[in-house]
Structure 1
């Protein structure tokens, strides 16, 4: 067991670690930490208290793990994340996900704030990310970050095939649950392709035209490395983007990070409905076994 995993387990509540309840891992992006406030009696672990993890410096990112329960299951949540534009390598920014994956969750939900390139989207929409394109430099799946974890040693032997294959990283069952939840609750949820870029600057109009021509529906600065790592670990994964602004070419509108936080905080309530619905489905699956 790695030093980071040992430290994480030491800081977590013993009852949490040893519980037989299913474990759901969740990543909360910019302004989406409202879900963290719904966790029952959470244990808080700062990123920088774990060997090999750095503090988060981006606005709207707490930079901490929260461990507790939601909807009758255990949940470990990344309240905020690290980004390449903060000076981190792919290995460093995916290490929090590697630590969570070492806890053997049954599923992972990754969320993010994103700019909408698809003109059919509206600000505040949730989008299931069923495909992605990455312009982030480095080895997707964080081979370096997961190499020291016993749970991933078998994955290292499959590295070449894992990086070449185009297997889906989106769990279709979870997608259907999210779509049903949106219909019942009356909010919009779409599907789309997410493009990850380094940031921190927002895209220019010329870049928006290029990205649309590539087939991207959303653009953001994260998510793909975490999703790929979770997929390589064999975890059922769902990624959801919140459309916080429309990145439409030739539009006179401009976007600030404050705008992104405002929209994502409002949309966070709908994201919480999706997370709770998936949590309930995992409880039902466990009881049916």
Structure 2
């Protein structure tokens, strides 16, 4: 374990009352789930060695530890993005910290643009797989064998068992969930209509600016991963209207009740 990783783990462990078993990364407008955590302990990112600062609207920038649906969880209420100027290693550092703290499962959420023309704004999508279009990878550079293998297998990056749990939770709640492939782009500009058309031809169903680096590192460290996207808008060229981050926040606000119900039911079953 690197010195910076050990320092971060030590600072956090000093504040915790138990070992978390589940990690949560909450994307744009989806940090509301952390507000449901019981007996919460809040740790500001700025107080954790090696953590960066979240600069995007809808990302509070704190870890929240406590109990959720009977499970001991640690949640990132806001994440870091490559487009903010952070290295891939900085973006994914919190995943390494949560794994070192003892989590075994990680649920990654995001707000994404719908590429699949059958999708509608407000849909919730179970991520089955991803395409890395970021032209970078957080594992580039020297490999620490204590953290994971040099060449990690990504054939089941999103755990099938957890996908089944999410599907069953959706059926129980009578929510119609989408399933599909998430494309990770660098951002921060939204895609052009031509780019969206290309990504659809390549097999993408939704596109966003996060998640892929975190999932790569989670797999590197042997975590089971579930990914969920809130389709916050339809990507460029599908509807004749401009795209904005305000629309993302508006949509996540509109679907927050269904999102909370789904996430709580999934966590109950884990």
Q: TM-score under structure 2 normalisation?
A: 0.92
Q: Cα RMSD (Å) of the superposition?
A: 2.0
- What pairs up with 1:14-93 in 2 under 5 angstroms? 16-17=17-18, 19=19, 23-93=21-91
Contact 1:123 1:245 in 2 (8 A): yes
- What pairs up with 1:90-105 in 2 under 5 angstroms? 90-105=88-103
Which whole-Å CA distance do the structure 1 matches of 2:219 and 2:141 have between them?
A: 13
Task: Output one character per residue of 1:231-278: Cα deviation in whole Å (capped at 9) or x when no partner.
Answer: 121111101111000115253122211110111133333333333233
2:222 aligned with 1:234: yes
Bigger drift between 268-277 and 224-233 goes to 268-277
Distance 1:242 1:125, change over 3 A: same
Q: Secondary structure at the match of 1:153?
A: coil
Q: How many angstroms does 1:4 deviate by?
A: 4.0
Distance 1:141 1:191, change over 3 A: farther
Distance 1:115 1:15, change over 3 A: closer
Task: Output one character per residue of 1:208-252: Cα deviation in whole Å (capped at 9) or x when no partner.
Answer: 111111111000000001111111211111011110001152531
Contact 1:34 1:269 in 2 (8 A): no
What is the match of residue 225 of structure 1? 213
Bigger drift between 106-115 and 252-261 goes to 252-261
What is the match of residue 287 of structure 1? none
What is the match of residue 198 of structure 1? 186
- Which of 109, 128, 131 is residue 129 of structure 2 equivalent to? 131
2:180 aligned with 1:187: no
2:255 aligned with 1:267: yes
Gaps of 5+ in 2: none
Contact 2:27 2:59 in 1 (8 A): yes
What is the match of residue 285 of structure 1? none
Distance 1:47 1:15, change over 3 A: closer
Q: TM-score under structure 1 normalisation?
A: 0.86
Which whole-Å CA distance do the structure 1 matches of 2:26 and 2:140 have between them?
A: 19
Contact 1:123 1:263 in 2 (8 A): yes
Which whole-Å CA distance do the structure 2 matches of 1:75 and 1:128 have between them?
A: 21
Bigger drift between 180-189 and 218-227 goes to 180-189
2:266 aligned with 1:281: no
Task: Output one character per residue of 1:12-31: Cα deviation in whole Å (capped at 9) or x when no partner.
Answer: 566633x5xx6110000000
Gaps of 5+ in 1: 283-289
Which whole-Å CA distance do the structure 1 matches of 2:67 and 2:34 have between them?
A: 10
Q: Secondary structure at the match of 1:210?
A: helix
What is the match of residue 162 of structure 2? 174
